[in-house]
Each structure stands twice: as structure tokens, then as C-alpha cells.
Amino acid sequence: MAEEIEKSKPLIIKRVKKKGHDFHGGSWKVAFADFATAMMAFFLLLWLIGSTSEEEKQAISGYFNDPQGMMDKTGASPSVIGDGGANTAVIEMEAIKPEVDEEEKELSEDEIQKLAEEQEAARLKALKDTLESMVENNQAFNQLKDQVIIDITPAGLRIQIVDKDKRPMFDSGSAEPKHYSKTILRKLASVLKTVPNKLSITGHTDATPYLERDNYGNWELSADRANSARRELSLGGIKETQVARIEGFASSILFDKNKPHNPVNRRIAIIVLKRSVAEQIEKQVLGIE
């Protein structure tokens, strides 16, 4: 009877549920930590790139493109602690210089001076070509082409406007330019005003004495003509500060030494001075060695 009662009792089975989800547990935390670390590294990389100079970037790029080329001459690894260690190519980037062209290499004072002179000579040659083209093609110079002489001298680019029989720049004994002389000077000024070089303007006469006025001769006349030429250049656009000097030489420097009375000796010379010559003129005036 007791056995029957025992068998008739219900069998109760209790199942204990585990907390959480068995299918992934806490692995998401590891993934999130990896993601956060990656993001921190990414933003750190952006910050480093933003604060890195172009030279340093080139050094880093050079290492990753050609690690072997970054090794020293003995073939040793440039790392601090040997193979696999920290690479000094990044640590010592200030000492690494990128390859540069010949023009970008550091030049000596003499080399800089020589290069500047070569560049100035090229500019003066280009200016000469421009002026010669204007004289050849501009209608204002049609009847005066053979009276405008342009050449390059040790002092700079020289433009000489010489007299010709029956076509002088000035009336005899006068410092007032002829109307066509004014046109020529203003046309020249339209080009000369575009260059930074200083100008020298000189007047010259032939050897014929000027006796029409007391205490006034070829020295005064040549100086007055040079100053008249400066006024016309100024009307053509030349600034006062661009003129370095105005001088009259009378007949002391003849164009045709064999024929002192040749009309070609009467002339106005405009020199686009080389920078070194203009500086020397200033030093002479100031008495600086």
C-alpha cells in the first residue's frame, strides 16, 4: 500500500534559468573595446599628420617606399634596438633633407651675385629686343629709325638718339626738343617705365662752339638738353625716383672722334643702368667706399 502511495505522488522537476544570453555572453565588450582602441589610434594618427612638416612626411614616405635606402652606408639597420626595434628614421627626421634640384641648393654669396647678374642681363636683352621691335614697327619712328641706336654696355642698356643732317633733335642753340623728338622720348618712356632699373640721361654736343650767349656754352647747353629729355620721359610715365642722374658732357665724349663736327655727335643718351652701377653711383655721391 505504501508503495502505491509513493508511486502516485507527482514528480516535480525544477529547471534553473541562467542569467544573460548563452549565445554570445560578454564577447561584445571585447569587440567594443577593440573598436574604441582603433578609433583612438585613428584620431591620434590624424593629429600626428596635421602636426607633421612636409620634410618629415617625405622622410616617412621615403622609409616605407624604400626601407633599404634608409639604412646607413655600412648596411646596418637604423633602428635603435636592432631589427624589429624603433626606427630612428622617424625620430631623427630633422636631420633628413629631401632631394632638391640644383637651383634649390644653398648657394654662396658669389654664386647668388652671379645668378642675379645673369638674370639681369637676360632682362636687359629682352628689353633691347622690345625697344628694337618698337623702333622698327611703330609709325612714330618711321623717319627716325637710323637715328635711334640701341646697344648693351658694361653700364647697362644704352639708347642713343643722334642728330642727322636736316633732322636734328633740337634747333641750333636750343634746349627745346623738336615735336618729333618729344614723340620719340615719350614712346620710349612707355616701355622704360615698366622696368625697375634706374636711368641715366646725358646730353652731348659736337665740337662747334656755342657763342650766342654770354656765360653759356656747350656744357650748359648739353646739360639743359639732357634735362629737357628727362621732362619728356616724365610726361611719358617715367617717375622722378627712377632717374639716377642727369649730366651734360658738351663735346668731351664724341660719338665720331674722327669728325668732331659731325651732327651724330649731338645726341641724347639714355642708359638703363645695371643695379650694381646704380648702387655705385649712389655710393660715389654719398662718399661711401
Distance (Å, rounded) from C-alpha 71 to C-alpha 280? 53
Q: Quick check: pTM over 0.75? A: no
Is residue 229 pLDDT above 70, yes or no?
yes
What is the predicted pLDDT for the residue at 30? 76
DSSP annotation of 86: -
CA–CA gap between residue 275 and residue 259 (Å, rounded)? 34
Enumerate domains of the chain plus CATH numbers: 114-286 (3.30.1330.60)
Q: How far apart are CA 242 and CA 195, in angstroms?
A: 9
Q: How confident is the model at residue 269 (pLDDT cuts 50, 70, 90)?
A: very high
CB burial readout 105-138, b (16+ within 10 A) else e: eeeeeeeeeeeeeeeeeeebeebbeebeebbeee
Q: At 185, is the pLDDT very low, low, confident or very high (cuts 50, 70, 90)?
A: very high
Residues contacting residue 267 through CB under 8 Å, at least 6 positions apart? 160, 161, 162, 163, 169, 203, 204, 255
Torsion on CA atoms 253, 256, 260, 265, rounded to nearest 10: -70
The cell numbers describing 90, all together, are 622617424
Pair 169, 161: CB distance under 8 Å: yes
User: What count of other Cβ atoms lies within 10 Å of the Cβ of residue 160?
Assistant: 18
CA-CA distance, 269 to 160, in Å (whole number)? 4
Cell 614616405, located at residue: 61
> pLDDT at position 9, please?
58
Cell of residue 44, nine digits: 591620434
pLDDT computed for residue 3 by the predictor? 56
Q: DSSP letter at 225?
A: H
Per-residue pLDDT, 86? 42
Largest interatomic CA distance in the chain: 173
DSSP 265: G
CB 238 within 8 A of CB 197: no
Q: How far is CA 245 from CA 181, 206, 241, 273, in A?
A: 21, 21, 10, 10
Contact 269, 160 (CB under 8 A): yes
Tell me which of 28-37, 71-80, 200-209, 256-265 is least confident: 71-80
pLDDT in tens, 48-99: 777 776 667 766 766 666 655 555 444 444 444 344 444 444 434 344 444 5
> Which has more pLDDT, 10 or 179?
179
